[in-house]
Amino acid sequence: MFKEFNIDNLENSRNDLELLLTSSKEKIDELLKIEEKSYENFVKPYEEVGESIGDFVTPIFHIDSVKNSEITQKVYEECLPLISNYETEISQNDNIYRSLKDIQDNSNISLNDIQKKVLENEIRDFKLSGCHLNNEKKETLKELNLKLSELSHKFSQNLLNATNAYEMIIEDFEDVKEIPKSDLELASFEEDGKIKYKFTLQMPSYLAYITYGTSREKREEIYKAYTTRAPENGKIIEEILKLKDEMVKILGFKNYASYSLATKMAKDEQDVVSFLEELALKAKNRALEEIDELKEYAKEDGISDIKSFDLSYYSEKLKKEKYDLDEEFYRPYFEQDSVLNGFFNFLNEVFNIKFTKTEASAWDKNAKVYDISEDGKTIARIFIDLEARKEKRGGAWMNNWHSYYIDKDGQEHLPTAYIVCNFPQSSDTTPSLLRHSDVVTLFHEMGHALHHLLSKVPEAMVSGISGVAWDVVEFPSQFLEYFAYDKEVLKLFAKHYETKEILSDEAIDKIIKAKNFQSSLATLRQVEFALFDFKLHQKLYTSEEKIQILLDGIREKYAAITPPSYNKFQNGFSHIFGGGYAAGYYSYKWAEVLSADAFYMFIDSGKVLNKELAIKYKDTILKNGGSKDMDKLFYELTSRNPSVDSLLKIDGIIS
């Protein structure tokens, strides 16, 4: 039923991939020979060729992110040119394009809406790939795509190498005395008969010191190490921007931003800029009040010139004082297994889906595998890998492996996906104890996963997250986050791992009250990132200096506090230089408007655990995947257009 995760033959992947791609080309050539092409005899088998390639390639690229080694890097670098060249060749094949166009023109009356959507998307993407261009330009695009893929991977690898290369050793207990016990246990080691403490740039370790580290000097040291990682990425960014600009000019676009919007819900560049500026305008005054409050608080500690490396430390102290909220108090209540099991119970209660642990193979002993069933029938599989490791790329993400679809023979294929996070590690003496923010992250990534796994769209190209516009793909993930602040939901899994005591109403109320602590600052920070990304792709910036001037100008206008000049945030901005968010980082806020407005349906119903509404959301948004535009699905769900004010209200920025 499900394909096992197996990379035993990893080192031979290049040869296997070459054979697969050769076979795939031959199958497509055979399809192109069909005289009377139809959706069933051409598009369906063509779609299945793409699925078979994704089936093979996804684990190879995935293992490089979660168990990075010299072997995985070598295999990745061997396979990348093969898959990049293949994808470019296929996407520029004018015969496939014309075949799809003919089917669209000749069979339009007999096609259903989902099939029409498949053809609409595919034909658009062929045009965006340059299938209409002459051979010389196609060859240039092929070279550009390969170079961009290689540079993107190099950017991410540099960041991982830099993250793993740094450690800060502390010998004086005074410098770590405020750090929570569970974090301190993970940091401590014995050397020369003395207990010392090691902090790294792995996110759980970095957060532990930047948030609780007593020594201001050490906080700056680790902050500086984090914000100056991979300086060589500066030159890679220059090259990426140059190649992207060259690529879109060949395709007839004035800049990369307009090219990016061709596949998104936002209609034009000004819509995006105006949206972000509106958010900034509505959040800035409150954000300045929040930073002033923090400055006044820090003065009590003798800090008259609060800096970026002080923000987490004093924000945590201020939050604790204002809301009597101690993050460390909560962590024993959020033991990883307890959270997962309770989370599954919640999902069963609202969406009528059941998670059953299976002994299927994965890539690490800490990666768990679950089959998902609905009404007693197995419908999907999910791999969940939550703990930080040195060989794992930072951050958290969902990656789809297989899509749900029904093949040309009527056979049903079930979807699979991975969730990867970097939560605190377990040790021999202590299980993995999460922060509430980690719980929120888990809900977020599961929102993405369910969007893919609960699809019932029979066409793979628009099933699950496939075919979903990038600026609304965050809607289901952000929507699910809101439930991580609901009292009834938290009581399903917030149990002390030793005493089994359920987290009290009073303690949960503190989490809920503190939810919007510094929410305006957080909004401004996201706007800063999004505007930088979008403006960076509106014209060609040719040097590190010019890129820095752009970022500095945005910070001057929108940032509530200016970071130190050594902060080279852009060199670690993997979302846009190592991932798929170039000229699309605004999507987080754009989609958040949908998620906030949709969640208000539950609030207005008077019951957040509203099963009837949850099933409607599942049937309308999740099951339809990318088969309809999200603005249409949203209207089907809510009978209204989304409002920015819903987001501002839910974040406490306006009342």
Can you tell me whether residue 377 is helix, strand or coil?
strand
- Cα 360 vs. chain centroid, distance in angstroms? 25
Nearby residues of 411 by Cβ (< 8 Å), 6 or more positions away: none
Concatenated DSSP letters of 283-306: HHHHHHHHHHHHHHHHHTTT-SS-
- Cα 163 vs. chain centroid, distance in angstroms? 19
Q: Are 262 and 124 in contact (CB under 8 A)?
A: yes
Report the alpha-carbon distance of residue 75 to residue 60 in Å, rounded.
Answer: 8
Which position has the token pair 């920015």? 644
DSSP code of residue 563: P
Residue 190 annotated to the active site: no
Selection from 494, 214, 162, 456 nearest residue 342 by Cα: 494
Supply the Cα-derived Rg of the chain in whole angstroms: 25
Let me know how many helices (H) and strands (E) the chain has, helices first. Answer: 26, 10
Report the alpha-carbon distance of residue 504 to residue 492 in Å, rounded.
Answer: 12
Report the alpha-carbon distance of residue 443 to residue 398 in Å, rounded.
Answer: 11
Provide the terminal-to-terminal Cα distance of the chain, rounded to the nearest Å: 51
Can you tell me whether residue 189 is helix, strand or coil?
strand
Q: Residue 435: count other Cβ atoms within 10 Å of its Cβ.
A: 20
Residue among 221, 445, 459, 528 flagged as catalytic: 445
Nearby residues of 506 by Cβ (< 8 Å), 6 or more positions away: none
Burial label for 540, CB within 10 Å (0-12, 13-18, 19+), is: middle
Q: Are 197 and 212 in contact (CB under 8 A)?
A: no
DSSP code of residue 420: E
Selection from 107, 82, 78 nearest residue 24 by Cα: 82
Report the alpha-carbon distance of residue 397 to residue 379 in Å, rounded.
Answer: 22
Q: Residue 501: count other Cβ atoms within 10 Å of its Cβ.
A: 12
Nearby residues of 99 by Cβ (< 8 Å), 6 or more positions away: 31, 32, 37, 42
The dihedral built from the CA positions of residue 171, 172, 178 and 180, taken in this order, carries a sign that is positive
User: What are the tokens at 385?
Assistant: 């890998």
Nearby residues of 315 by Cβ (< 8 Å), 6 or more positions away: 294, 517, 518
- CA distances (Å), 519 to each of 436, 437, 524, 602, in order? 16, 14, 9, 21
The dihedral built from the CA positions of residue 573, 578, 582 and 588, taken in this order, carries a sign that is negative
By residue count, the chain amounts to 655
Q: Sheet holding 353-358: strands in order across?
A: 353-358, 367-374, 377-387, 416-423, 397-402
Residues designated as active site: 445
